[in-house]
Chain A
């Protein structure tokens, strides 16, 4: 059993286990009692998706997928900030920053 096949077994095992972790996040997105539960598990799902794509880029041995990792991270972060601000204040971009409501 050479080194490459050991790494392949590790990669396939990790992808399977990570899929179950993402399924847990999906459960919290569907069931979550409040909207904030859904937002936070959506954020965590984005973080897990970054790891998932890192594993897939090793599996198919392609270095070009690392750009996708950065892109998904940025999109998940901006989506979380937007959702959180919308749930707190009812608007995302505030023009009057001095108002309290």
Chain B
């Protein structure tokens, strides 16, 4: 049981560190949001499960509040990430300069062919034409 608790705590720590590395290293808001919302949610859910098993094993206590916390974070983290990314898009935060396709911008502006200037997109188009 102790090994299960230790595994859950260490796994949760690993995933939260992955989230922090993603938030520090990734280039723009949208990709940082991708790192911060998914990975840290999984890590903290593992930690809550470890805490639940800890109190079950040590005090013989079933703490339902921890399951409520797991459910709450499972529901609210995607909602918060979606609202922040929507707000960033409508505030005209530019994506990373190597982004090759911005579908929402294309659909909302109504322009059929948007001129993409990113070098990676030019290379892709060239290889598709050939």
Out of A13, A28, A84, which one reaches B84, CB within 8 Å?
Answer: A84
- Chain B contact residues: over half helix, strand or loop, or mixed? helix
Contacting pair B20 A51 (CB below 8 A): no
Whether, in the assembled complex, A91 has its beta carbon less than 8 Å from a beta carbon of chain B, the answer is no
Q: Write out the residue numbers on chain A whose beta carbons fall within 8 Å of the beta carbon of B33.
A: 40
Tell me the bound Cα distance from A7 to B77 in angstroms.
29
Contacting pair A14 B10 (CB below 8 A): yes
7 nearest interchain CB pairs?
A21-B20, A24-B20, A88-B87, A44-B36, A84-B87, A36-B88, A51-B44
- Chain A contact residues: over half helix, strand or loop, or mixed? helix
Out of A17, A28, A66, A81, which one reaches B83, CB within 8 Å?
Answer: A81
Contacting pair B65 A10 (CB below 8 A): no
B1-30 vs A: 1/0 string, CB under 8 Å?
A: 010011001101100110111011000010
- Give the number of residue pairs across the A-B interface with Cβ within 8 Å: 154
Contacting pair A7 B6 (CB below 8 A): yes
Tell me the bound Cα distance from A34 to B12 in angstroms.
29
Contacting pair B86 A10 (CB below 8 A): no
Chain A proximity of B6: nearest CB distance (Å): 5
